[in-house]
Amino acid sequence: MAVEKRLLGRTELEVTPLGLGCWQFSGGRGLIGGFWEALPQERVVGVVEAALAGGMNWFDTAEAYGWGASEEALSAALKTLGKKPGEVVIATKWHPTFRRASSLRTTLEDRLRHLGGFPVDLHQVHHPTSLATVEEEMRVMAGLLREGKIRAVGVSNYTAGMMRRAHQALQKHGLALASNQIRYSLLDRQAERNGVLAAAKELGITIIAYSPLAQGILTARLHADPASIRLRPGPRKWLPRFRERGLARTRPLVEALEEIGRAHGATPGQVALAWVIRFHGPTVVAIPGASRPEQVRENAGALDLALTPRELARLDELSRPFSGL
């Protein structure tokens, strides 16, 4: 069965409702990359192969993910698997901290070099912390788009107001903002009360949900074995939602995911992903990460999972307390 594809914003880029987040390919480098163990390249190949086999057609990486390490690992894996430029969609991100808008242009060559011949289909501003205005950033992005150096413009972690400003700035060049990448899951629904989701629907901007499984909490594995978090690399083990009290608070929601999963022959994680990519129609797509091929295969199963309106509503109700809704 062919996997559904959705237009990314008002662009011509078509992406599957699930893509592969590639933060975990950072090689353990840097503060951001240190959230993950360094994966051997043969494991990276296995993860990318499982994503392709599961029907995913796009991959999201970033400059800050090991300062090029993730881009290089992804590119090498795609080449090993016989993929050629243009056969998949590649999204990456510019790291804006302490930089001017001109850095978008000067560092794009680094992105292309690390991607080893694969193009930058979607170029995103990673977060709103640069020394430039939104308008200045979008002016440079528009130039790169007109020159054919990128195919679409996105942002990440932008508020509703900043997203509107980016959209309006691109409109002056006859272009449109394709996406805003934000943390969104059953445990992270702030976008529904801070105006981001409403603005995205109004303007035709795609929301790319990162951490759609709340970094593993919604798979139910940590609830089954809370002590296992101590073996995880990086600082996640110290965050409140991963501690005993945090897991107890999310247990009712996770138990509902398990119950609904049993009715469909699905896992809790698959149910959680299906909710993210279905509850708001085509507006939201998601990029769960994975460090093992079997995790990708499990995630891909959510593409074919059809939850009933009652099940979607039940999960909506149970998850509302986690975002003040």
Catalytic residue among 65, 158, 184, 210: 65
- 297 token code pair: 């295969």
> What's the distance, CA 171 to chain centroid?
25
Q: Confirm whether 65 is a catalytic residue.
A: yes
Could you give the CA distance from residue 128 to residue 166 in angstroms, rounded to a whole number?
Answer: 11
Q: What are the backbone angles phi and psi of residue 304, rounded to the nearest 5°?
A: -100, 5
| Residue 34: CA count within 13 A, CB half-sphere | 4
- 70 token code pair: 């993730």
- 140 token code pair: 């440079």
The residue whose two tokens read 């788009």 is: 145
> What's the distance, CA 127 to chain centroid?
13
Nearest to 27, CA basis, from 36, 18, 14, 17:
36
Could you give the CA distance from residue 213 to residue 210 in angstroms, rounded to a whole number?
Answer: 8
In this structure, which amino acid lies at residue 163? M
Residues catalogued as catalytic: 65
